[in-house]
Amino acid sequence: MRNFLSPDNAVMSFITRIVYAVWLNILWFVFSLPVFTAGASTTALFYVTLKMARNEEGNITAQFVQAFRENFRFSTKVWLIMLAGQAVLALDGYVLWHMRFTNAFWTFLTAVYIVLLAGCIISAMYIFPLMARFENTVRAMFINSIMVGIRYLLCTAAMAAIYFIMLLIIVRFFTPAVIFGEGLCAFLCSYLLSGILERLAPPQEPPEENSTDEA
């Protein structure tokens, strides 16, 4: 029994991380309340969960707050651009729905819309982990998020399944599961992304050895 309750026990370690995910979900929700801060909050969430995936987490609350402050301006800019793009796509989708099956041009526009929508979804899944891990320009972040999502389609499909299953559980089967919400999704996705982001990281140059002349 003592070994089972030990923090080094695999089961207890898993339970602890689930509790961390719940707490991170609460932090994410609170810091996202003004809506325009949701980008910085999501980046901070992935900053911590990616550390958890590498077993490098410390004080998760302090790390979350620190990452939120450090990434606030950049992440908010990206988030507002995403909101604007999503609003345009929503309007386009509304228009296409009401003019459906009218002519061949509608089919072409719908195909273009589906491609843009898929790109938007892929970008939304990858851009926050990328911002939590790397520094780059806004334009490069959007391009890289789509390129990485297309390159690692299996990971993209698995991440989409995680978000879809969580949404399905909350909406159709067990609404209180919302307490896990984004925190658990980010935690599970971080395990899928950890190895990919390590491969994308630029190689570190070995430190130069200072040679001294012998007397």
The C-alpha atoms of residue 61 and residue 113 are separated, in whole angstroms, by 40
Burial status of residue 47 (CB atoms within 10 A of its CB: 0-12, 13-18, 19 or more): buried
Which tokens belong to 107? 């089919």
Going by pLDDT thresholds of 50, 70 and 90, the confidence category of residue 4 is: very low
Would the pLDDT of 144 be above 90? yes
pLDDT digit string, tens, across residues 14-27: 788 889 999 999 99
Q: The tokens of 160 are what? A: 């989409």
Q: How far is CA 133 from the centre of its chain?
A: 11
Provide the token pair at 84.
């604007």
Q: With beta carbons less than 8 A apart as the criterion, state whether 149 and 66 touch.
A: no
Global pTM value:
0.85
The pLDDT > 70 percentage for the chain reads: 88
Would you say the C-alpha torsion 131, 133, 135, 136 has a positive or negative sign? negative
- Reading the block at residue 121, the tokens are 């979804």
Gyration radius of the chain over CA positions:
21
In this structure, what DSSP letter does residue 188 have? H
Provide the 3-class DSSP secondary structure of residue 134.
coil
CA distance 164 to 49: 19
Q: Please report which confidence band the pLDDT of residue 215 belongs to, taking 50, 70 and 90 as the band edges.
A: very low
State the chain's mean pLDDT as an integer. 86
Task: Please say whether the beta carbons of 129 and 190 come within 8 A.
Answer: yes
CA gap 99, 165 in Å, rounded: 32
Q: Which token pair is 138? A: 């806004």
